[in-house]
Structure formats: C-alpha cells, structure tokens
C-alpha cells in the first residue's frame, strides 16, 4: 500500500512539473492559465489520492477523499471566472493566436 | 523510504516558488492572479505530503481551508477584473 501511494504521489508531482513549465514558458495569459490549471488540478488530485491510499481506513483518508471533489470543482470554476474577467479587462491575445470566437459571442 | 518522500516534498516546494516568479514578474495584473491561483493549489499538495511525512491528519484540514479561501479570493479578484459591482 505504501508503494502504491508513493507511485500516485510521484505521478502527481510529474503533472505539477508539466504545469509549472507551462506557467513559465507559454507566451500568453490565456495559454498559461489553460495549461497550468488543468495540469496542476489533476496533479494535486493524484497526490491526495496517494495520501488516501497511504492512510488506509482512518479519518485522515476520509479527509483526503473529501478534499478531492472540493479541489476539482472549486479550481475549475475559479479558472473559468478568472479567464472571463481577463477577457473583459482587455488583455490582448498572443501574436501566434489566429482565432477569437468569444468576441463574436459577446456582441 | 522516508528520504524519497522528502525529495518529493522539496520538489513540490520548488514548484510553488516557480509560481512566485510569475507573481513577481507578470507583465499584466491577470498574470499575477493566475500565479496566485496556481500557488494556492500547489500549497494543498505540500500540506498533503507533510501529512504523510509526519503522520498527523490535521494538516489536511489546513489544506481544505486553503482551497476554499483561495477559491473565494480568486472569484473576488475575477469580479474586480470585469469592472462590475459585487452584487451584479
């Protein structure tokens, strides 16, 4: 069981690493938010699942299991609201972006 | 085994400080907010790994409270960015 939990925690940290590379390297605010939110949410859910496997049947495992849906729904909702606010704030798209469907939807 | 877990903890703390780079250097205001949002999610991972390392379960409570406070803070900042009042 300890080995399974370590494997899950390692997978989660690899996803977090991909997200943090995205938050440094990508050229645009929208690209950064899209890459970072998906990868980091999945990585932290995987870490919490590993913690749940580590503790077995106890109160700590229940807390970790409750934290997974809270993290999943709250972070995706916050990212959606944040990217909508970013668009209304007036941040331009990057130079390599070719299509902007949301502008026609707002009109 | 515990040494491997310590390495994972240090890697996670390093990734959280990478987000601090984006908060400090972000060209626009929404970039800094993205950094704050991602930093709040990564701190939950740090709390989870510390709770495995020490064997105490109350650190997960800190993680859950951090998720909810970060959610409310990000929603408020996003509402500020759209330029409307909070009750609209």
pLDDT for A42 equals 92
Per-residue pLDDT of A50-71, as tens digits, reads 999 998 888 888 988 998 999 9
Please state, for a pLDDT cut of 90, what percent of chain A lies above it.
26
pLDDT for A105 equals 78
What b/e string do you get for A1-25 counting C-beta neighbours within 10 Å, with b at 16 or more? Answer: eeeebbebbbbbbebbbbbbebbee
Q: Do B35 and A82 lie within an 8 Å CB cutoff?
A: no
The phi and psi torsions of A85 (rounded to 5 degrees) equal -65, -35
Q: What three-state secondary structure class fits B39?
A: helix
Q: What three-state secondary structure class fits A81?
A: helix
Measured at the CA of B68, the angle between CA B63 and CA B69, to 5 degrees, comes to 95
pLDDT for A11 equals 93
For chain B, the first-to-last Cα distance in angstroms comes to 53
pLDDT for B2 equals 58
pLDDT for B88 equals 63
Task: Please give the DSSP secondary-structure letter assigned to residue A92.
Answer: P
pLDDT at B62 over 70: yes
pLDDT at B1 over 60: no
Please state, for a pLDDT cut of 70, what percent of chain A lies above it.
100
Residue scoring higher pLDDT (B86 or A62): A62
Q: How far apart are CA B20 and CA A7, in angstroms?
A: 27
Q: Do B33 and A82 lie within an 8 Å CB cutoff?
A: yes
Instruction: Give me the residues of chain A with pLDDT under 50, please.
Output: none
**B75 to chain A: which residues are within 8 Å by CB?**
77-78, 81
**B86 domain-assigned:** no
Q: Give chain B's domain count.
A: 1
For chain A, give every domain's residue range: 2-106
Out of B57, B74, B80, closest to residue A63 by CB? B57
Look up the domain containing B71 and give its range: 2-77
pLDDT at B75 over 70: yes
pLDDT for B27 equals 82
**B66 domain-assigned:** yes
pLDDT at B7 over 60: yes
ipTM of the complex: 0.86
């Amino acid at each position: 069981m300890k080995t399974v939990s370590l494997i899950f925690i390692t997978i989660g940290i690899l996803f977090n690493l991909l997200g943090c590379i995205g938050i440094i390297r990508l050229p645009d605010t929208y690209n950064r938010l899209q890459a970072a939110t998906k990868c980091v949410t999945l990585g932290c859910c995987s870490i919490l699942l590993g913690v749940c496997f580590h503790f077995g049947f106890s109160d700590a495992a229940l807390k970790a299991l409750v934290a997974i849906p809270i993290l999943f729904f709250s972070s995706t909702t916050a990212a959606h609201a944040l990217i909508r606010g970013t668009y209304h704030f007036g941040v331009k798209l990057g130079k390599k972006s070719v299509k902007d469907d949301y502008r026609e939807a707002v009109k | 085994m515990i040494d491997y877990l310590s390495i994972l903890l240090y890697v996670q703390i390093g990734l959280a400080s990478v987000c601090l780079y984006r908060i400090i250097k972000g060209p626009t205001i929404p970039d800094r907010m993205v950094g704050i949002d991602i930093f709040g999610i990564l701190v939950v991972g740090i709390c989870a790994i510390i709770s495995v390392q020490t064997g105490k379960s109350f650190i997960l409570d800190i993680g859950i409270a951090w998720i909810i406070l970060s959610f409310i803070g990000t929603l408020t900042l996003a509402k500020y960015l759209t330029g409307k009042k909070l009750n609209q």
